[in-house]
Amino acid sequence: MNAGTDSDVAAVKALCDGTAVGASTATNRGLHYGDGVFRTVLLHDGRVVDWSLHLRKLEADCGVLGLDAPAPGTLEDDLTALIPSQGDGVLKIIVVRASGERGYAPRGSLSQRWVLFYPSRTPRLRHYTDGISVIRSTVPLSEQPLLAGVKHLNRLDQVLASRNWAAGIDEALMSTAAGDVICGTRGNVFAIHGGRLLTPRLDRCGVAGIMRQRILEAAAQHGITTTVAPMNWTEVLAADELFVCNAVTGIVPIGSVDGDARWTTGDTTRRLARLIDHPCHSCL
């Protein structure tokens, strides 16, 4: 098959819900192939929380896909133009490979960036004091070692796992087809046994989130024994404490799994929350 040319791309005509759109939007490789990465970032009192960590992770994930990371200062300029000076909200930063001709094969590392701002929602106090209700997802998590740890745009596993939750369910924990527990649909997962942390190894799938990184670093600095290893359902259900975490919500305790409400927000979870000092941890 012959490769297309830039002029071929420019000649593309497209409609979205009946309205004409430009060629660069119509041929976006993030739209067509999920060829990109993203970050979801908390904005608190006009301050971008953990910004340097997000930038380093974004650059690393771009490197895995062979994408040019945004040039230094460009994202800061975008944020200055987009966000309110004292506002709270959530930022989503998307980096995709620049539009190209039809076909899977990428042409070069040139990228396009998107920055979106969403007004924040008030955190639910009970989630932090009483813990959330989770289920064990029946959707197996896809394994691709080359993408393990990367927050890439293909989130279809999480989309499938988020369908048809019963009323009162806040999250679903996901495992591989072999039964290795990896994450929640929206964040990383930790189990605590006798004050010791256990979190899944992410060498075959899953996102290595910055909140996970902060927790592991805080545990190491303050003498909390941590094991990063394969984790099965028996180890999850036998834990003294459980929590999920991400950059927007911080550490969120788990109170029940599949209706079994045996867990409480324990001392180790509270200690880690104090060490992390996330804006949502004020009630922990």
Place of tokens 């393990």: 148
164 & 269 share domain: yes
pLDDT per position as a tens digit, 52-70: 999 999 999 999 999 999 9
At 13 the three-state DSSP class reads: coil
Distance CA 196, CA 192 (A): 5
- From 134, 126, 95, 87, select the one nearest 111 (Cα to Cα): 95
Quick check: is 143 in a domain? yes
| Backbone φ/ψ region at 79: left (φ over 0), alpha (ψ -120 to 50), beta | alpha
Higher local confidence (pLDDT), 107 or 155: 155
Alpha carbon 253 to chain centroid, angstroms:
17
- From 211, 206, 213, 79, select the one nearest 152 (Cα to Cα): 206
pLDDT per position as a tens digit, 85-107: 667 899 999 999 998 778 999 98
- Which residues span the domain enclosing 176? 125-283
For residue 196, what is the enclosing H or E element?
A: strand 196-199
β 111-119/171-175 pair status: unpaired
The domain total for the chain is 2
142 & 170 share domain: yes
Name every residue whose Cβ is closer than 8 Å to that of residue 223 and which is 6 or more positions away in sequence. none
Of the residues 119, 153, 173, which one is the last residue of a structural domain?
Answer: 119
- From 136, 166, 147, 139, select the one nearest 231 (Cα to Cα): 136
226 & 115 share domain: no
At 11 the three-state DSSP class reads: coil
pLDDT per position as a tens digit, 174-198: 999 999 999 999 999 999 999 999 9
144 & 244 share domain: yes
> Contacts for 52-59 with beta carbons within 8 Å, 24 or more apart?
53/210, 53/213, 53/214, 54/93, 54/210, 54/247, 57/151, 57/208, 57/210, 58/93, 58/95
Quick check: is 173 in a domain? yes
Q: Residue 125: which pLDDT band, with cuts at 50, 70 and 90?
A: confident
pLDDT at 129 over 60: yes
pLDDT above 70: percentage of residues in the chain = 96
Distance CA 165, CA 75 (A): 36
Place of tokens 């910055």: 210
Q: Residue 1: which pLDDT band, with cuts at 50, 70 and 90?
A: very low
151 & 237 share domain: yes
Q: Pull the structure tokens for residue 52.
A: 């340097």
170 & 267 share domain: yes
Cβ atoms of 46 and 91 within 8 Å: the answer is no
Quick check: is 1 in a domain? no
Place of tokens 């109170």: 255
Give the N- to C-terminal CA distance of the chain in Å, as an integer. Answer: 59
109 & 47 share domain: yes
